[in-house]
Structure 1
């Protein structure tokens, strides 16, 4: 309460003043010294007794005895499924990288050797295909503020998590084997210097120094940084060629805005749709930072003893008034407490106090950043202002969605499932909760993170991140006009997210334009998961059916993005899916493209995307692709199969919502 805060504050001032502490407890600044840290790993073998103490492994990573290397991802644990994985190997102790008094970065030198092993994505991939540098995604040398966070997979290279705020300082040198134009990558064989961002401050073509990063060779890197001059030098060469005479990068670079006083150093790597194993074979690191010593205090114990013997009477003389002042201060504080108690009894907020009394008092163990957790009903109730109607964002037959603010100030979205929804449909809550927990563990740049859940008092609640730019349907059918480049990026982002979910044997089950959200940079993130279980007894079969339905719903969403109108037609308007197939039959698909975008539409790209959308709405046994194939179509990595002249007609009961057919055969095309 307030009076306790005042009591401790005033009492602290009183005690400190009576102890006679000086205004500068640390004393005057002394001489400057160098603080040196040295790390050395000749190789990475589990026989090294200090390896477990000196290295922190996060995510999909292992120390391989066979290769005597750090391997990211872990091929032993993941088997053949090495897609969309990220891992980190971090030196366990923090290292001083910045002198906060002078804002001078530490100087450091590091050298390490690495090797990329390209792995095929499927048994159908031939050896000749592997020689085409299809590996991904890459490795980074990182300096990060904590030893808990694992970055995103795919193009994020495990070095950065887009959920981290601007205060999450990081420095990285990336060795990237995939080209991601949205991040400004020049090619699929480059180095990049990343300062607090996934977009490189400087990018260098590795081919310029005769290096192909994923050719299977062992390469060595030398990085040196002069903190006082703010100058960095990077050299790269095949291991057998030794120290190169020419730098890959050499120039002025101020790291101080991206450093804390103490940070962690190590490596991160990731895979995306294409895979490779990133081996770190050896590592040496030395840092030197400047620190100012402080002059030792003259206030020693011996001095006090001597002073006491010499001035006993004077000290006794000073004690009397000091004791009187302490007594007087305590009396005043007691009066303040009583007055505060009297007036505070008239100030109550019944709803807030009632909720606060139910908050758990026990301390929770520290959790890694952004990890989903279980919330209490009291926390959710406070965040939604006791589920106030003013906080409602929307509702449907199974849930009500609220905008909420947690006690730490973070804005979230709370989805509260209705009890009658479970009773009416006969869903088993335990399995429902199991699915929520499974999806809450998933992290992908194009999926809205689940912050947690709540199962208290018969409630089933899911807590998501709040995306301030709103849902895609508002931008397509309401405010503004999204240009084609943004729309095509939305289609690709949506495909990537679903492909990742399906690779984890999960499904979204609610793919529609209102479930796709746009962040501040207009990147698409998919949320509002369906969590709807079928009545089938087989989880494997249920997952397969749901993934097929996801593909169909994705196809419809693509048509809406291109046409700029909802499939739910207005009175007198034709269903968008039927209209799209009709325009395909008469070869007039270009008439579907939203005219509001003007002449700056890449028509060829739009028609290709429309064909992919139609392909996704085929009956499941008539050529409907998987989301992995859709990603390849969109990235021009695979030709699109020829569409049938008309939409297939199904003889069996057929859902126009999911595109699922209850039979195993369909009639010929129209």
Structure 2
């Protein structure tokens, strides 16, 4: 046993804990770089989380006029305490990014950062009241509220201009306000606005800039007169935002939020007890803990070096992932799935078997990686380290993972309507004629749009570009409202640098029928190969036909791409629509547009395929579908280069051929 190491450990740990004991915890803080859910927030009835942002007033209902809303951090903050002859008031800093998008000219009415002990939204506080007060409570001591308002409309005589910031105490009338007309900051431009608020030495300072500017270069918008917050706010307050609309409307959202303040809770009396009683106990515990940790580390190293460990150091690899999800115990997942009962089996694939489970009173899907999966560890790690750090409404959410007794398990949110392929082709376990609900045209359009949004996020919306590499109907899951969520990231690969465009591989990964023809030559995944697979998916969703299971050697002549392109050349592309769809619900112009878009994504020349951003513009009616030749061009390699205008966006390196060794079908 390495005693010198243990002595050093004990000394360092003792010094650390004594320092902790002698130093009071002095900070109350939280940080939301985005808002994946509302678990740490309190939201009023009309507020919500949407697109990873706080929506303070309704954003998607129609109409969005005459609403007020409030959102708070869920825990209260002790702002002041009685001390000697003078109250001690905490200092704080907060930074947040607002996005106020006007729906009328001007927008209306505004948004405010607020501190109050009462989270309730006042009745009739819409319109000019900005959710702060109403006509009855305005100017009285009843509200007990401080607001830094970001007003976007001149609503009454005493109000400032359309674009101003103000300090309000128990009133909609500001004690101080400053017009932003002369600043380079436009609150209701529809662009992100970064705000920093500081309260120190009884003074509130407000700084701001259009997003993208560092805090050091922010402009000073307002500095308040001395304010004794303890004179009108209670000791404990909630910190958050309020906003409103009237006949004049706007979309009021907060995209990120960071808060840091002094923690002045009463802990002085316990301090001496901690020093004189707690420290000796801690020292004894440290000695015991050091011995236990040393023994466990020795056991772990010996275990990991043994031949019985199928996947050595797998936990260390996950540990270094920036946002790895929760780790579960094997016994928890075994109990949740009824011992991986066949009655709870949801499906099976090359990667493993999926079971329905009940975990922490919530339905989940548990994927048990097959021990016969040749690339089980690699695919398991790809799922945890890739999708674990992604947050998008059209991606299946990975909740947790487990590695224990050679078992690799993944825990996902449960998708009650299963996978898309069953609605298009039936269930192979029950025969193709198994009676699943026929998805109507509007649902199919929504599915296509949802997958397109997920891919646009993976390619250009997240911090590191992600290539999915296995887009197909069986990997598209449907929630209770038949909204599409892209799942199965076992083959996904992250491109570490944003200017990288491809992932080289020794194996050709993917599913035959969805794989772009150049894949078999270049041995790499690109955004264009993902786009090709998406195009095949579009065609099968509209036509209700399988994509075909053939390889590049016979040029996909039995595939759906060839069949639909042939119909398109004859001017009969709408004839490929799924016969189960009712004629009265189909809009031929829409069907034609979507099918042509699918063919464009399946162009043999990867340079001619649209980006997912362009795909979304077409699906949303913001752009016409790309031009597609009447006859499917012959696949040639090297591909014809793009025009000079598109060259800088190209993801393929002209003329580069990487050999491959094996095709991996999924």
TM norm structure 2: 0.49
Higher Rg of the two aligned structures: 1
